Amino acid sequence: MSRATTTAASLKADVSPEEWQTRVELAAAFRLCALKGWDELLFAHISAEVPGEPDNILMHPASMLFEEITASKLLKLDRECQHVIPSDQPAHSFAFPAHRAILDGMPDAKCVVHLPSKAGTAIAMQ
């Protein structure tokens, strides 16, 4: 990529059709979780493996709410949680290792969802 930072408007042209479809579906999952109120805590995350690129995953930026996520706003991260597609947005470096480990440990898994609720967290703490 010759540009320093890829803009949201141009991202579709810069990724494979399979990656774009995964981005669209993952963004829809974020939006649905927001509609259901499943994004109430900071530690809620969803990630997906990039089709054909098992070393790369898609995650939302740490600075964005679930309701703000679009296909183009998702971060593409390598095994070291570094941006594959340049972005000024921070990655969830604290959540990344768990998502990466699950995807590595379960080869059939292509997506990881972690949605702790206030009630679930309260019960787990007892």
pLDDT, tens digit, for every residue of 75-107?
999 999 999 999 999 998 888 999 999 999 999
Full domain range(s) for residue 119: 12-124
Q: Return d(Cα 59, Cα 114) in angstroms, integer.
A: 12
Q: Return d(Cα 73, Cα 69) in angstroms, integer.
A: 6
Rounded to two decimals, the pTM is 0.85
Predicted pLDDT of residue 5: 44
Predicted pLDDT of residue 26: 97
Number of folded domains in the chain?
A: 1
- Tens digits of residue pLDDT in 9-61: 569 999 999 999 999 999 999 999 999 988 876 678 999 999 999 999 999 99
E strand residue ranges, the chain: 45-50, 53-59, 75-77, 111-114
Rounded to the nearest 10 degrees, how much is the dihedral formed by the CA atoms of 21, 103, 56, 99? Answer: 100
Task: With respect to residue 106, please indicate whether it lies within any of the assigned structural domains.
Answer: yes
Q: Return d(Cα 8, Cα 78) in angstroms, integer.
A: 19
CATH number at residue 32: 3.40.225.10
